[in-house]
Structure 1
Amino acid sequence: MNKRGSRKMELILYRWKRYGVGYIFVLPWLAGFGAFMAYPLFTSLYMSFCQVRVGGGKFRLEWVGLSNYRAAFLKDNIFPVELILYFQEILIIIPIIVIFAFLISVMLNQDFPLRFLFRAVFFLPVIFATGQVLTELFSQGAGEIPFMDQYKLEPLIRQYIGEQFAQPVLNVLSKSVIILWYSGVQIIIFLAGLQTIPRSIYEAVWIDGASPWDSFWKITLPNMMPFISLSTLFTIVDLFTFPLNPVIKHIRKNMFLVETGYGYANALAWIYFLFVLLLLAVVLFFFQQSTKKRREIR
């Protein structure tokens, strides 16, 4: 083996020693994905390029190329509008949930009586607000807070924000209770992250005369950036699978229509998935760049 091949082998061994344990933990998920999800995903992608008819107890596929994807933007008057509006709502809700969960976790990380009880209170909605329960609560109006009508905020929002962005903001305000219900897991993630910061670091900066405000910006926030990125990615995935998601409702509706069927519904689903994947990639790139800059400063 030449010198170049020897260095390459050493690099492979080094990477395996560094990342091998992580790969071993991911292996069961990869095996489950290959066994149960890879084939349905491939079938769904293939169906998105076909016109699917059901007859004789089986699917009849007719290849139509990109017709379903073109129809999603050129013929469907509902899907593009719902997709854009829901993305605007999500871009507002995500930072609210992450910031809310982060601030609550900082408070719950302090020493005070009955701390475990308050932690349980913030996590209980995650257990109870499952898909069907959440749908039923919102259908009964329990998911809305009536301050919009009491204080007549809708005309003010439309006047000062503008019609283009007023509807997403109003939709977010009408679902304010989601912030509490969908922040339980994020609070747990942030609490776990806060436990990784040694107490001795805070004691050292306090001796040097730093205030709690300074220690938050110089110690807590920089050390919590990996957990903020993880919480943001989790929130994105969680909200895009929200039971009351209008885009998913539209996809499900087209699945059972004779004019569109499974092929068109699969095309809509893959367009939706690509939009979500793009947002995840942008968020991940942003956090990686911020982490890289912070390491360079150090």
Structure 2
Amino acid sequence: MLPWIVGFLSFVLFPVGWSLYNSFNKVSITSDGFQYHWVGFENYYRMLFENNEYPILLITYFQEMLLMIPLILIFAFFVALLLNQKFPARGFMRTVFFLPVIFATGQVLMELFRQGSGELPFMEQYRVEDVVDLYFGGSVAEAIVSVLSKAVIILWYSGVQILIFLAGFQTISRTLYEAIRVDGASPWESFWKITYPAMIPFIGLNAVYTIVDLFTYPFNPVLKVVQDNMFKATTGYGYASAMAWLYFGLVLVCIGAALGLTYRASGMGGGRR
């Protein structure tokens, strides 16, 4: 942990503390530098009660992410389960599923989406949006359609999760499966009795990684709004810092919920880890 602690204290602690201090000030940029005027929680009040656009954007975006995170985890889990089996060209297939992690960097991903590579044609061909709106309606339908339109992102953002799940599967001793099969257990029972309990810590790790990855990816509309407000005369650094801290707090809540669910599941699945 020492390299991480040194790096955090040297490069991260001051910017984070300065951002938190800015959120309680009205920050003005003058020829003499930054000028601070203490306003307390006024920036937070304006953000939540005077600016209706930002809270709605937060709610909508979190709805989409809460749908995408389980989809990514489920997809990565079962792909890793398949890649853990013995079959010809297994190493090549593992490489294929990990390649998007290398190619889907920020600028490359943005360029691919500008060219329309991030959209799936079946959405318009089969009028998926109308079907979803018929059965769900409202903001739920909008969130589902938005997630379906980002199916390519689900594929691209599953490479690291697949690798972590694959490493987790390889920690399970084969003798456990042999023993439970001797006792007459079916593959379905061995999955729930051995595979799933052993993989719970890896599910929690991947959940945290996916949350952080999705809430910081290049097309995040919340971060764009925060950046835009940094340079507006009516808002500025203080207001934008308050927006960023609210967003950061909600992300921490999601991470805490993922860790809490993992801890409880680990306790029920055969002891604390």
Q: What is the TM-score with the length of structure 1 in the denominator? A: 0.89
CA distance in 2, matches of 1:214, 1:268: 48
Q: Which amino acid aligns with 1:204?
A: A
CA distance in 1, matches of 2:204, 2:31: 49
Q: Specify the alignment match of 1:273 in structure 2.
A: 248
- Asked if 1:69 is matched to 2:52, the reply is no
- Asked if 1:237 is matched to 2:212, the reply is yes
Closer/same/farther in 2, CA of residues 36 and 162 from structure 1, 3 Å limit: same
After superposition, where does 1:97-246 map in structure 2 within 5 Å?
Answer: 97-246=72-221
Q: CA RMSD in A?
A: 1.2
Distance apart, 1:164 and its partner CA: 2.5
SS in 1 for 2:130: helix
Unaligned runs of 5+ in 2: none
CA distance in 2, matches of 1:110, 1:296: 27
CA distance in 2, matches of 1:66, 1:214: 54
1:292 alignment partner, one of 240, 259, 267? 267
Q: What is the TM-score with the length of structure 2 in the denominator? A: 0.97
Distance apart, 1:208 and its partner CA: 2.1
- Asked if 1:29 is matched to 2:14, the reply is no
Distance apart, 1:59 and its partner CA: 1.1
Q: Which amino acid aligns with 2:59?
A: I
Identical positions, percent: 54
Unaligned runs of 5+ in 1: 1-25
Q: Which amino acid aligns with 1:237?
A: V
CA distance in 1, matches of 2:32, 2:214: 35
CA distance in 2, matches of 1:241, 1:150: 31
CA distance in 1, matches of 2:103, 2:173: 34
Would you say how many aligned residue pairs link Structure 1 and Structure 2? 272
Is this contact kept in 1: 2:119–2:149, CA < 8 A?
Answer: yes
Distance apart, 1:293 and its partner CA: 2.5
Distance apart, 1:207 and its partner CA: 2.0
